[in-house]
Structure 1
Amino acid sequence: MTLPTLPFDILLLILEYLPLPDTTLSRHIRDDTPYNHGQAQNALYCCSLANRELSQAAGMVLYRCVRLDIRKKSKSQQTAAESSWSNQKGTPESRNEEADEHDYGLPAAPHPLLSALNSTLPINSYMYVQHLHITGYLSTLPPGSSSNRLPMLLADAIHLFTCGSHAKLQSLRFTPEDCHPQTFVQSLEILSDSHREVGSSLCLSELHLNEHAFDDENKTRLLAQITGLKKITLENPTRVLLQTLVSDNRASSDSSNQGWLYHLQTDLVELHLLNNCGSITPGVLHSFIPYLSNLERLTLGISYSLADKDVFVALSRLKRLKSIGVRWYLQLNSPPPSIFIEEWPLPVLEIFQVGYSSRSLRVALPRSNICNTSSTHTHMRVSSASTELDETSDGSDISCPLCSWVFKVTAGSPALKEVVFVDEDDGDEEDETDDEQSDFDSEIEDGQVDVQAQALKRNMWMMLGGINLGESIIEEEEEDLDHFYQTDS
């Protein structure tokens, strides 16, 4: 019996809806699927045995995104690894997605990354790899054939995925939790223009890195030679990297003295600077703007050096921005909404994402709103005067300072469609934080804050030497504390 033939594109769509193993990433992820990990592998394997077309389609889906995520070992696994490293018998309890010294830093086989590099297999699966993600706890041993083979493996993989005749790698993510400083150097050398053949172009368009890929000048120099990128994501950007973005002080000629953004300005449409961005000062931020004229999406992490004025003056100069991500923190000198409308408008902005700390927000909320708002508060989804407030409102009547701020800074964005709030305190510490907050509330209700205020007054008086100015400041602080924590009798 001959099976009916379906177009290859239809086969791909069918297989994309299958639950896939954790080592791959499908475009359609279904969390409510009833299949487990083993059934997912069996389903894909059975499809690959049906006919040649399904076999090729299954390979494309399986190897589209290859992820290497090495988890941290438990104490029992570390003990076993140490014994195996000393040429003694010892086997870790679990080797799924874990590597130790006995593996020379490589992932435990079988693994899609190892299979993609295996030339003895009948199918050249490396031709299907479009996304490569390297995360987790990599080996911290120095690179070498007898110690840590992972750097060489990554370099071979990136060369094969980006520079081969059938190379299709579109995005590369290297964000390990820990690794040896030289782990990614060979890979950067392959990606840089100076190490590619004349006339060859890089198929890579997206790059996602953290500080392990740009923690010294040699790495940033190699990064500045990677061109043709459309999307860059940098976690915890360092001062050395920020200097490389706008200028290369080691270059000698005028044409090569320009920074990384200069060479990317015609192609780059997305730039995301995430997490700790304390090295980004107002001067550094404004130095980026001349090279970001084509930018459509921008994200800025937390930097207490940047006030609202610094950020939105720079953003208003980017006329194509459709999506912005910023980190909110309470500022006492933020300009009124009229300034954002008249001087810093964002006319084409469609998506505004704001990250915040729920703990900081609870402190900023008025005392009367903490119990009723902090735990059950739903932030406004669209910052539109016609939707959330009266047209004459300036946002000051919103009880939540975060929502009031979002309403204010997006007042000059008539095309806004969506506001996304991201609580960066969500995680393992959430329950602990709630317990601490409830304990603090009970202390306030018991009147213990008066004792704390007296101690604060005494310590500040001693620190300031008892001068009259210090006493007046202390009295004002004590009055503010009494007013803020005053409870209904």
Structure 2
Amino acid sequence: MVPILPFDLLLLILEYLPLPGAEVQSKANSICNDLQNSTQNAIYCCSLANREMSRVAGRVLYRSIKLTLQKKVNSTQNGTESSCTNWKSELTSHNDEADVDEFGLPVAPHPLLSALVCHPSNTTYTNVQRLHITGYLSTFPPGSSNQLPELLANAIRLFTCGPQAKLQSLQFTPEDCHPETFVQSLEVLSKIFDASESRSSICLRELHLNHHAFDDENKARLLTQVKGLKKVTLENPTRALLQALVANRDGRDTSSQGWLYHLQTDLVELHLTNNCGSITPGVLHSFIPYLSHLERLTLGISYSLADKDVFVALAKLNKLKSIALRWYLQLNSPPPSVFIEEWPLPALELFQVGYSSRSLQAALSHKNARNYHRSHTHSHIHTRSAFIELDEVSGGSDYAPDPDDACPLCSWVEKVTASSPALQEVIFMDEDKDYDVDEQSDDDEVEEEHEVQTRVAIDRIMWMMRGNMNSVIEEEEEENVEQLQETDSNL
């Protein structure tokens, strides 16, 4: 008989694996994610080995629960309807008919439902450390037709306040839902933190929300009562939320202070992603007094923010180790000397920059420069060798861009990180990468093919002009002689 390891030892082995859905900030993100998916599949296979492995693997797999409700996609085949789903590595479920058959709830069996079973022997909820709600939720108002809001509120109460509760990360990022879907959950969170005398008794440390969770003043007000968070991610922050972040900053009553006031002693990561158009220079600078402990910051796209506005604020955050910004071309950006002398980032280790490749190409006036940058791989100054490479798109021509045609994105990154001696990695993220092929029209393909044929003809002419004309003439004369000889023989 093969010896079986003790339960405690097996648990230590499997718990060493990373949580599913954990963010990995590295240039090898795709490799890490693939490895993570295979890891979760391996744990699932372990659960089928024997009873002991099933107990251990179940506890590990329940660490992360993801509820994803998909839109129903009907495809008629032989008179029957079928729906397609996508399975993830996390404990998740896809219920294409949730609104109709289950009143907005996931179809059983589902890990979220299993963790909420009221039974003295059920301690599954004590394993849940991450809860992620996404997809297309019911658009019916909370009630008998949509019971998901009540279910989520009960889950948060149990996962956060239950005996030995361990919920550390909560994520609400649905594609669509009723405006009141998360109100009950936010009320539970606000009451939990108000009733708790010690922040150490609350295990929740990360909160990730999109606009469905803070698109009105009531939701924003409830969020300001959630304290003790170390990481906050807000997608497409609205004006109401931004006002709640720093509301009544000059007031003496601490209960009426903004959200950042209550988070300032614990918050080390703040991520404001995607559309941040409501963030003006005044709003950004109002955040700074409450971010003295911040180590990681993300700012999405906001055309109201110039380089001066952003880096004057960032230079005041001495502990920043990671920054993620959205770049756009600015004609009045200060010279490198200003960044080095006035806006240094000495603690910066990781710099992530998002950009639009289509906007970047449109900013280049020189046609050869545009072709050059289509095949150009953005890199930091230590690895950048673009100026000495041949242009692959132009058929290997000897064109090399002059300094005026240098990649403005790479030049900007080198400029803003010039005063960062601790910098270890720069990551470029092209937001248009998925659209380059899909948006290419037939006319564009015909034009590119015509350009290729034209370049081939020009290259042949240039080759002939560089001293190969004589060989071409000799070849043609030999062909004419052979044809004459064949004609004479036939005669």
Aligned equivalent of 1:215? 215
2:197 to 199, 210, 216: 199
Q: Secondary structure at the match of 2:278?
A: coil
Q: Equivalences for 1:30-45 in 2 at 5 Å?
A: 31=34, 43-45=45-47
AA at the equivalent of 2:276? C
Which amino acid is the alignment partner of residue 424 of structure 1? E
Q: Distance in 2 between matches of 1:122 and 1:254?
A: 46
Seen in structure 2, the aligned counterparts of structure 1 residues 34 and 275 have a Cα distance that, compared at 3 Å, is closer
Q: Number of residues paired by the alignment? A: 417
* C-alpha contact 1:265 1:291 (8 A) present in aligned 2: yes
Asked if structure 1 preserves the Cα contact closer than 8 Å seen for 2:328 and 2:355, the reply is yes
Q: Partner of 2:315 in structure 1? A: 316
Match of 1:407 in 2: 414
Shift of 1:124: 1.5
CA distance in 1: counterparts of 2:245 and 2:36, whole angstroms: 44
Change (3 A) 1:441 1:221: farther
Q: Distance in 2 between matches of 1:363 and 1:333?
A: 18
Cα distance change on mapping 1:322 and 1:440 into 2, 3 Å: farther
- Range moving further from structure 2, 307-316 or 408-417: 408-417
* Cross-structure match for 1:64: 63
Tell me which amino acid in the other structure corresponds to 1:126. Y
CA 335–50 in structure 1, closer or farther in 2 if over 3 Å, else same: same
Which letter maps to 2:283? V
Alpha carbons 2:73, 2:83 under 8 Å: kept? no
Scaled by the length of structure 1, the TM-score of the pair is 0.76
Q: Which one-letter code corresponds to 1:225 in the other structure?
A: Q
How many Å apart are 1:123 and its aligned residue?
4.0
Return closer, same or farther for 1:344/1:158 CA change in 2, 3 Å cut-off: same
| Partner deviation per Cα, 1:12-58 (whole Å, 9 max, x = no partner) | 4347769x9xxx65899663799899x868614324x342xx34421
| Aligned partner of 1:430 among 431, 436, 461 | 436
Query: Counterpart amino acid of 1:43?
Result: C
Amino acid at match of 1:74: V
Is contact 1:15–1:57 with CA below 8 Å preserved after alignment? no
Query: Partner amino acid for 1:137?
Result: Y
Change (3 A) 1:307 1:194: same
CA contact (8 A) 1:383 1:410 kept: no
Query: CA, structure 1 residues 231+3, in 2 after alignment: closer, same or farther (shift >3 Å)?
Result: same
The amino acid of 2:47's aligned partner reads Y
Residues 92 and 157 (structure 1), Cα distance of their counterparts in 2 relative to 1, 3 Å cut: farther
In structure 2, relative to structure 1, the CA distance for the partners of 1:33 and 1:282 (3 Å cut) is: closer
User: How many Å separate the matches in 1 of 2:9 and 2:376?
Assistant: 45
Question: Do 1:383 and 1:419's aligned partners in 2 also have CA atoms closer than 8 Å?
Answer: no
DSSP 3-state at the match of 1:100: helix
Distance 1:127 1:328 in 2: 43
TM-score, normalization by structure 2: 0.76
Give the Cα–Cα distance (whole angstroms) in 1 for the partners of residues 443 and 155 of structure 2. Answer: 49
Give distance in 2, aligned partners of 1:319 and 1:12. Answer: 38
Offset of 1:388 from its aligned partner? Answer: 9.4
Q: Name the counterpart of 2:282.
A: 283
SS at 1:229 equivalent = coil
User: Distance in 1 between the 2:4 and 2:42 partners?
Assistant: 24
CA displacement 1:220-277 (0-9 Å, x = unmatched): 000000000000000000000000000159x996222321001100000000000000
Q: What SS class does the counterpart of residue 107 from structure 2 fall into? A: coil
| SS of residue matched to 2:195 | coil
In the TM superposition, what is the alpha-carbon distance from 1:364 to its structure 2 partner? 1.7
Match of 1:161 in 2: 159
Q: Deviations over 1:102-156 (max 9, x none)?
A: 2100112211111111134844211100000001100000111x20010001001
Separation in 2, partners of 1:185, 1:33: 33
Match of 2:167, SS? coil
After TM superposition, give the deviation of residue 385 of structure 1 in Å: 9.7
C-alpha distance 385-370 of structure 1, shift in aligned 2 (>3 A): closer
Residue type at the aligned position of 2:34 = D
Q: 1:32 to 1:309 in 2, by over 3 A?
A: closer
Equivalent position of 1:107 in the other structure: 106
Letter in 2 for 1:131: R
1:419 aligned to 2:426? Answer: yes
Q: Which amino acid aligns with 1:412?
A: S
Q: 2:370 maps to what in 1?
A: 370
Tell me the secondary structure at the aligned position of residue 267 of structure 2. Answer: coil
The aligned runs of 1:67-82 (5 Å cut-off) are 67-75=66-74
Cα deviation 1:308-350 (Å, max 9, x = unaligned): 0000000000000000000000010000000000000101101
- In structure 1, the partner of 2:334 is 335
Please tell me whether the aligned partners of residues 101 and 148 of structure 1 are also in contact (alpha carbons under 8 angstroms): no
SS in 1 for 2:282: helix
User: Which shifted more, 312-321 or 362-371?
Assistant: 362-371
Equivalent pairs: percent with the same residue? 59
The SS at the match of 2:444 is: helix
**Distance change in 2, residues 1:114/1:92 (3 Å):** farther
Distance 1:387 1:438 in 2: 29
**Equivalent position SS for 1:333:** coil
Q: Using the TM superposition, name which of 266-275 and 430-439 deviates more.
A: 430-439
Q: In 2, are the aligned partners of 1:383 and 1:411 still within 8 Å (CA)?
A: no
CA distance in 2, matches of 1:437, 1:302: 32
After the TM superposition, which of the residue ranges 117-126 and 435-444 deviates more from structure 2? 435-444
Pick closer, same or farther for the CA change 1:383–1:194 going to 2, 3 Å: same
Report the alpha carbon displacement of residue 408 of structure 1 after superposing the two structures with TM: 0.8
The 3-state SS of whatever aligns with 2:158 is helix
CA contact (8 A) 1:248 1:257 kept: yes
In 2, distance between residues paired with 1:437 and 1:344? 47
Question: What corresponds to 2:183 in structure 1?
Answer: 185
Are the counterparts in 2 of residues 209 and 235 from structure 1 also a CA contact under 8 Å? Answer: yes
> RMSD in angstroms over aligned alpha carbons?
3.6
Asked whether the equivalents of residues 12 and 61 of structure 1 are also in contact (C-alpha less than 8 Å), the reply is no
Distance 1:278 1:206, change over 3 A: same
> What amino acid is the match of 1:151?
P
User: What is the aligned partner in structure 2 of residue 354 from structure 1?
Assistant: 353
Taking the TM superposition and a 5 Å limit, the aligned residue runs for 1:91-106 are: 93=83, 97-98=94-95, 99-106=98-105
Structure 1: distance between partners of 2:431 and 2:257: 35
Q: C-alpha separation between the residues in 2 aligned to 1:436 and 1:335?
A: 41
Mark the runs of 5 or more structure 1 residues left unpaired by the alignment: 81-89, 390-394, 446-489
Larger radius of gyration: 2
The answer for the alignment partner of 1:487 in structure 2 is none
SS in 2 for 1:192: helix
Output the amino acid matched with 2:123. N
SS of match in other structure, 1:294: coil
1:344-395 superposed Cα distances (whole Å, 9 cap, x missing partner): 0101101000000111111123321222321x21111x34599999xxxxx9
Distance 1:35 1:298 in 2: 30
Structure 1 residue 256 corresponds to structure 2 residue 263: no
DSSP-derived class of the 2:48 partner: helix
Gaps of 5+ in 2: 24-30, 86-92, 388-401, 452-491
The alpha-carbon deviation at position 76 of structure 1 amounts to: 5.7
CA distance in structure 2 between the partners assigned to 1:412 and 1:261 by the alignment: 28
Please name the residue that 2:231 is paired with: 231
Change (3 A) 1:9 1:329: farther
